[in-house]
Amino acid sequence: MSSSIFLYVPNLIGYARVFLLVGFYAFALTRWEVAICAYIASFAGDLFDGYFAKKLNQCSTFGMILDMVTDRIATTGLLSILSIIYPRYAVIFTCLQGLDLSSHWFHMYSTATAGGHHKDKQTLKKRNFILRIYYGSYPLFAYLCVSAELTYVALYILYFVSDDNTFFLSRLYSFFLLPGCILKQLVNIAQLTSAANELAARDRDAALIAAQKNDSNDSNKNR
């Protein structure tokens, strides 16, 4: 029954991640220590849902979408908080939100409607080479994803912590996290443009087929 899908272990982890994100939003501007613990716990859950999905043979389309939507809610929500506490850079954070949402939705839609998984090598074989490298190398994929997320986490923490206690975190941010975050944005741009080109190519092919069909019908009528 379809209801049992909702009770898959990885999906239960997904619900817990959403609940933790609500806790983050609730305390983000008043109790930052509680908020960041909730956010990091939700982020850590992303490491386990995929593991249990494979281990327990509980992979599902619902779970895949839930995971992706939760990731996007987390990132865009944190960027929204950063826009509030760093109003001077609100335009930058808002643009990063738009890029994150659009690139992942375009990519997910273009691969799902092609009948493949968004990380599958076969699905991506004709896509941008940057995507093939990114999704084909798990260490690179993990570094860019984690560094991008932790860049935003570091910015959040640095706002609340006094300068005397930020030496290590600021150095970690500058020399390890920020470069990965910048590279992740380049991947997002490549992901967006690749998916857009794929969808436009399908529209072009569909238009050509429709035009040929119309020409064939007109030709038959004239006989």
Report the C-alpha gap between 43 and 223 in whole angstroms.
66
Q: Are residues 67 and 14 in contact, defined by beta-carbon separation less than 8 angstroms?
A: yes
How far is it, in rounded angstroms, from Cα 82 to Cα 26?
14
- From the list 49, 71, 163, 218, the catalytic residue is 71
How far CA 10 is from CA of 3, 75, 87, 204, in Å, comes to: 14, 20, 37, 39
Residue 32 carries which side chain, given as an amino acid letter? W
In 3D space, the residue among 145, 171, 144, 141 whose CA is nearest the CA of residue 158 turns out to be: 171
Q: Is residue 164 annotated as part of the catalytic site, yes or no?
A: no
173 Ramachandran zone, left/alpha/beta (phi>0; psi -120 to 50): alpha
- Closest to 66 (Cα-Cα) out of 103, 30, 16, 111: 16
- Rounded distance, CA 120 to CA 102, Å? 20
Point out the residues that are catalytic: 71
